[in-house]
Amino acid sequence: MKKLFLALVVITLLNSCGQEKATEKKEASETKTEVKVVKETLKVDATSTKEFKTKSGKVFIVKEEKPSASISKITVTPKGFTEVNEPMKMEESDPFDYALVADINADGFDELYIITRGAGSGSYAKIYGFSSNKDKSVTPIYVPELSDDDFVVLFPAYMGHDKFYVEGNKLMRKYPMYKKEDTNANPTGGEKVLEYKLKQGEASWILELKK
């Protein structure tokens, strides 16, 4: 009887140990799966390359690398310019949205304008410019940061969702205007249109809003 009792105790302990090991293996497996899913979610690292040709046959190569969903590294490489074709980098910018090729200063040589867009609900746009120096080389265009006063005067009822476009040889910016009770997805205040001008500065071209 004692031997039978001891045998039952041993069997019970063995079963218990086996269940604990099985549970530990299952938990470890689930943990590994969760870690793998997190790593896959965080992995973005997408790269894309686009080419934009001027009317004189020169090319701007735009390469975008995306280390995350909200930050991009953009490189502009000129191609076919007679003296300098050095790449120009924007290390941390909003993601690339689209680009425009236009001769805004009417000097006979096209500039490249890159429009980036924030990943947030406002989809705020920003513009970067690159000027052809008579098709010999390319230099960045200086775009002044907008001040609080600029936003009050030039951007009333602004909440993003803006768009840059070319009309003739003019560079335009349009955005929907919001009333106080409007939601971000439903502006009802009409539209505001602004025009940019490209003027020669001391060291580079300057892209400014007409006031």
Q: What is the DSSP string of 87-145?
A: -EEEEEESPEEEEEEE-TT-SSS-EEEEEEE-SSTT--EEEEEEEESTTS-EEEEB-PP
> CA–CA distance from 147 to each of 90, 127, 150, 154, 198 (Å)?
22, 16, 5, 10, 19
Q: 98 by DSSP, 3-state: which?
A: strand
Task: Kindly report, residue by residue over 127-149, the tens digit of the pLDDT.
Answer: 999 999 999 999 999 999 989 99
Residue 46 pLDDT more than 90?
Answer: no
Alpha carbons 20 and 208: distance in angstroms, whole number: 71
52, 54, 59, 60: CA torsion to nearest 10: -50
Question: Are the beta carbons of 159 and 118 closer than 8 angstroms?
Answer: no
Across 26-35, 45-54, 159-168, least confident range? 26-35
Instruction: For each of the domains in the chain, give its residue range(s) and CATH number, in order of start.
Output: 46-209 (2.40.128.460)
- What per-residue confidence (pLDDT) applies to 5? 47
Q: How far, in Å, CA of 31 to CA of 23, rounded?
A: 12
Q: How confident is the model at residue 2 (pLDDT cuts 50, 70, 90)?
A: very low
Question: Would you say residue 73 has pLDDT above 50?
Answer: yes
d(CA 85, CA 61): 11
* Residue 132 to residues 24, 76, 101, 136, Cα–Cα distance (Å): 66, 13, 11, 7
pLDDT above 70 as % of the chain: 79
This prediction has a pTM of 0.77
For 80-111, the pLDDT digits (tens) are 999 999 999 999 999 999 999 999 999 999 99
How many angstroms separate the Cα of 26 from the Cα of each of 14, 31, 32? 18, 9, 10
